[in-house]
Amino acid sequence: MVKRKTAFKLRQAHRYLGLFIGIQFIMWTISGMYFSWTDLDEIHGDHFRKEVVKPATFSNLSGPGQILSGTPVNSLELKDIGGRAFYLVNGENLIDPKTGKERPDITPEEALRIAGQHMREDLEVSGIELIEETGKHHEYRSGALPAYVISYKEPSDLKAYVSVQDAAFNSVRHRDWRWFDFLWMTHTMDYEGRDDFNNLVLRIFSLMGLITVLSGFVLWYISSPSMRKLQKRFK
C-alpha cells in the first residue's frame, strides 16, 4: 500500500493541478461544444452571399500571347472589374487585354461592384475603407493587403473584404465568425496569432492535463475499498 504521506502529497498535487488547468479545461469544452453545434457554412457567412454567382462573359479579347510577349507567366486569370475584362498575371498585375497596359489598383467604387457580385442584393452598404496592414489578431489577418473593407447595415456587424491588387473578393466576417475565432484561439491556446496548433503553451497544458487524469486514476486505486479488499485476498 502507498504510505499515507505519499497519498496526501499526491492528492495535493492532483487538486492544485486541477485548479490550475480547470479554467482551460472549461474553455476547451465550451469551444468544442460551440464548434460541434454550429454550421460552418453560416460561420463562413455563406447565408450573406448570393447562392449563384454568374460569371461575366467577354468577347474580342486579345490573346495572352499577343499582349504578354516576353513576360514570364506562371498563372493567368480573367477578372471582371466594373464590367471590363482584365488579365491577372502571376497573381499580381492586372493587364488590359485590349491595350496590353497595366491598370492601377481598383477604386472604392469598383470594390463595391465586386462585392455586389457576391453579396445578397438586399444588404445595404454603410461604408467602405482601405486598410493597408493588420495585426495578428485581426479578422482579416491572412488576407492580401491592401484591401477594401465594406461594411453593411446588419446587426451582426457584417463586413466583406476585397483585395486591391488582384480585385479578389476574399472574405466575409460577422459576429458569429468572430465568436468562432475567439473560441478557436482559446482552443488552440495560440494567444499570439490564434492559428498555431503546435505552440508550447498548448503542449504544456496538454501534458499537465494528462498528468492530472493519471493522478486521478492513481488516487482512485489507492483509496478504493474494493481495491483494498482485492489486495488483502491475494496476500
In which band, very low, low, confident or very high, does the pLDDT at 62 lie, cut at 50, 70 and 90? confident
Q: Are 40 and 172 in contact (CB under 8 A)?
A: no
Cα distances (angstroms) measured from residue 141 to each of 128, 137, 138, 195: 18, 7, 5, 10
The chain-wide mean pLDDT, for the chain, equals 85
The predicted structure's pLDDT at residue 90: 85
More confident residue, 30 or 92: 30
Q: How far apart are CA 234 and CA 167, in angstroms?
A: 77
Range of weakest confidence among 64-73, 123-132, 152-161: 64-73
Give this prediction's pTM. Answer: 0.79
pLDDT at residue 231 tops 70: no
Q: What's the average model confidence in pLDDT over 204-229? A: 78
- 100 versus 233: the higher-pLDDT residue is 100
Residue 138 identity: H
Instruction: Identify the residue whose cell numbers are 488547468.
Output: 21
